[in-house]
Amino acid sequence: MDYAATGQEALSRIAEASDLETLEALRVEFLGKQGSISGLLKTLGKLDPEERKVEGPKIHALRESVSDALAARKDVLETAALNARLASETIDLSLPAPEAPRGTVHPISQVMDEIAEIFADLGFSVATGPEIEDDWHNFTALNMPESHPARAMHDTFYFPDRDAQNREMLLRTHTSPVQMRTMLKDGAPLRIIAPGRVYRSDSDATHTPMFHQVEGLVIDKDVHLGHLKWTLETFLKAFFEREDIVLRLRPSYFPFTEPSVEADIGFTLIDGKRVIGGDPSKGEGGWMEVLGSGMVNRRVIEFAGLDPNEWQGFAFGIGIDRLAMLKYGMDDLRAFFDGDVRWLSHYGFSALDVPTLSGGVGTPA
């Protein structure tokens, strides 16, 4: 049999195939399992040996020429397809970056960075501790034994299971346990702040179950209340970027400090709005409570394995959310945690707006 006509027809149809799908259809038609040339190959088995010797090479040659033609055509079509894609997908790298989407730094993150920057300048480093705490670090070691009434005021979220040392586990109710962790780890002297999330089972317009605090701790020799007052005043002046910050210290009680002090910051009324700064005792305005502090209780120093006759110190705890609201004029705490893109793009900060003391710690984006 002469396969020249079959071959001619196959080759010319392959040469005319204008895209890869058509070419693939031809491959199946000729060489697929049910293909015409595959069919010819199958007939070989039924031929007697002499005929097979004659027909075999012809059919194989046909198969080979068709398969070569398919491969060659495939190459041509693929190159053409690639060139077309390259031509249509050019990128102009000199175009400006798109306006949207544009993320912002959350005011809480920004304020935490501002606080870290200010305290770094005063020689404080940043310490951290776990949000899932044990009862010993969160309460007992801070001079709040199991029966202590102050525990009840913390509205603690407890976990159902205890840890390996049979300690009750909880979400830390304040950043104060970082005091203990840092003293146990690094000993004394010490100068740290510890910003982070804290949790209490409490929720209304001015309380959210998760909020933010920054803890401060200084342990050294001959530390006294005057150092505490100077540090707080210096911090608040730098944070609010004004010199006329007036601080009022009130006696208070915290189990982990003795004596304990709560600090209020003076505000004045300008067009009915509260503005931080000025002395309320000399005009309109008032006091706003911003932090708790005091001299570290001797018992706490003992719990940390230090000798309270050798080491003293002061500590403070500041509510970050409140501070951010006062500085940047936000009046609803809950908006902090809504994740509303419009709110974030209004109150958020540019990622490039890194707070520095020289450049101003808080210039809105």
Minimum CB distance to ligand DAH, residue 321 (Å): 13
Token code pair at residue 194: 């510890």
Minimum CB distance to ligand DAH, residue 242 (Å): 25
Minimum CB distance to ligand DAH, residue 155 (Å): 11
Per the omega criterion (within 30 degrees of 0), is the bond before 251 cis? no
The contact mask relative to ligand DAH for 200-219 (x = CB under 6 A, - = no) is ---------------x----
Helix (H, G, I), strand (E, B) or coil at 31: helix
The answer to the question of residue 133 lying near ligand DAH (CB under 6 A) is: no
Closer residue to ligand DAH in complex, CB, 216/277: 216
Burial of 214 (0-12, 13-18, 19+ CB in 10 A): buried
The answer to whether residues 184 and 305 touch, using CB atoms and an 8 Å cutoff, is yes
b/e code 163-180 from CB counts within 10 Å (16+ = b): eeeeebbbbbbbbbbbbb
Minimum CB distance to ligand DAH, residue 350 (Å): 32
Write out the binding residues for ligand DAH, residues 298-317 only, by CB under 6 A. 315-317
Nearest CA among 269, 237, 233 for reference residue 248: 233
Instruction: Choose, by CB under 6 A, the member of 177, 277, 292, 313 that binds ligand DAH.
Output: 292
Per the omega criterion (within 30 degrees of 0), is the bond before 280 cis? no
Write out the binding residues for ligand DAH, residues 325-344 only, by CB under 6 A. none
Q: State the number of binding residues for ligand DAH (CB under 6 A).
A: 11
The answer to the question of residue 355 lying near ligand DAH (CB under 6 A) is: no
Residue whose token pair is 């404080």: 124
Minimum CB distance to ligand DAH, residue 360 (Å): 28
Minimum CB distance to ligand DAH, residue 114 (Å): 20
The answer to the question of residue 174 lying near ligand DAH (CB under 6 A) is: yes
Instruction: Choose, by CB under 6 A, the member of 129, 278, 294, 355 that binds ligand DAH.
Output: 294
The answer to the question of residue 176 lying near ligand DAH (CB under 6 A) is: yes
Write out the binding residues for ligand DAH, residues 230-259 only, by CB under 6 A. 254, 257
Tell me the C-alpha to C-alpha distance, in Å, between residue 251 and each of 76, 218, 278, 292.
Answer: 88, 20, 22, 10
Helical ranges in 89-200 per DSSP H: 107-121, 135-138, 149-152, 177-186
